[in-house]
Amino acid sequence: MEPLITFRKVYKAFGQKVVYRGLNLEVYRGQSLTIVGGSGVGKSVMLKMLIGLLGVDSGTIVFDGQDVTKMKESDLALLRQRIAMLFQGGALFDSLSVGENVAYGLEEHFRETMTKQDMEDRVAWALGLVDLPGIEDMRPSDLSGGMKKRVALARAIAVQPEVLLYDEPTTGLDPINTDRVNHLIMGLKQKLNVTSIVVTHDMKSAFTVSDRLAMVHGGKIIAAGTVAEFRAGTDPRVQNFIQGRAPVKEDVETLLTT
């Protein structure tokens, strides 16, 4: 199977802080891949590089045969019609209504091809998919944290993308809303036939929504595979992360020498 997305030998640094030192990763069409790893390892940076919000220092990122790292801004605008992102925290505009927030991407990408009625219908469709029908006139300030996440997800799916990126989709949510968002991720994958990339440090969510997982550590992917393969892996860094354990002395020595 040919990968839809490929990161190859990607290097990225911010000043003296090296985030990636040879990132290699493949994402397959129609699958849900979850990226795990500790705080500050660059999981969100990976998503932003994929849609051109951040550039790479070297290496390539290929989406459906096109090198994202060489795209002009006009090409990136077209790319963002095909790859939509749910940002951590939702990133809703407080000055806009829920309906206007959900329609934001439509206005940006399709104002020449969609009528006002078409946009309203698409907004209603997207809100219905996240189980929030009829709230177009509400304001973000009127919404709970879980509702804000779902409105932000409705905004992402309104453009009917081929790929959905989820940046810490359950952070700050209570267990009920976490479960609701996890079910939405799985349900949208089936209903919309999208490829999903989920960034999280919540292993319960990761094991729930994933076809495959990959772990970032030390600027590289140190493990990738199915849920069963991940659980059965022998790398102590992976197992410590899954179990939420601090590394023991032997594990620290392994970390320092790999």
Tens digit of each residue's pLDDT (9 = 90 or more) over 114-147: 899 999 999 999 999 999 999 999 999 999 888 9
Cβ neighbourhood burial of 191 (10 Å; 0-12, 13-18, 19+): exposed
Q: What HEC string does 73-130 produce?
A: HHHHHHHHHHEEEECCCCCCCCCCCHHHHHCHHHHHHHCCCCCHHHHHHHHHHHHHHC
Q: What is the pLDDT of residues 148-161, one digit of tens each?
A: 989 999 999 999 99
Helix or strand holding residue 36 (H, E)? strand 32-36
> Strand pairing of 83-86 and 32-36?
unpaired
What integer pLDDT is reported at residue 256 of this predicted model?
Answer: 47
Whether the CB-CB separation of 76 and 49 falls below 8 Å is answered with no
* Average pLDDT, rounded, for the chain: 89
Residue 168 carries which DSSP code? S
Report d(CA 82, CA 185) in Å as an integer: 17
Bridge partners (DSSP) listed for residue 84? 164
What integer pLDDT is reported at residue 252 of this predicted model?
Answer: 46
Report d(CA 73, CA 64) in Å as an integer: 18
Whether the CB-CB separation of 66 and 74 falls below 8 Å is answered with no
What is this structure's pTM? Answer: 0.89
Cβ neighbourhood burial of 60 (10 Å; 0-12, 13-18, 19+): middle
Average pLDDT for residues 7-15, to the nearest whole number?
96
What integer pLDDT is reported at residue 250 of this predicted model?
Answer: 44
Q: What is the pLDDT of residues 194-244, one digit of tens each?
A: 999 999 988 889 999 999 999 999 999 999 999 999 888 888 888 888 887
What integer pLDDT is reported at residue 244 of this predicted model?
Answer: 77
Q: Tell me which residue range forms the domain holding 109.
A: 3-256
Whichever domain contains 162, its CATH number is: 3.40.50.300
Q: Which residues of 7-40 are buried (b: 16+ CB within 10 A; e: fewer)?
A: beebebeeeeeebbeebebbbeeebbbbbbbeee
In total, how many domains does the chain have?
1
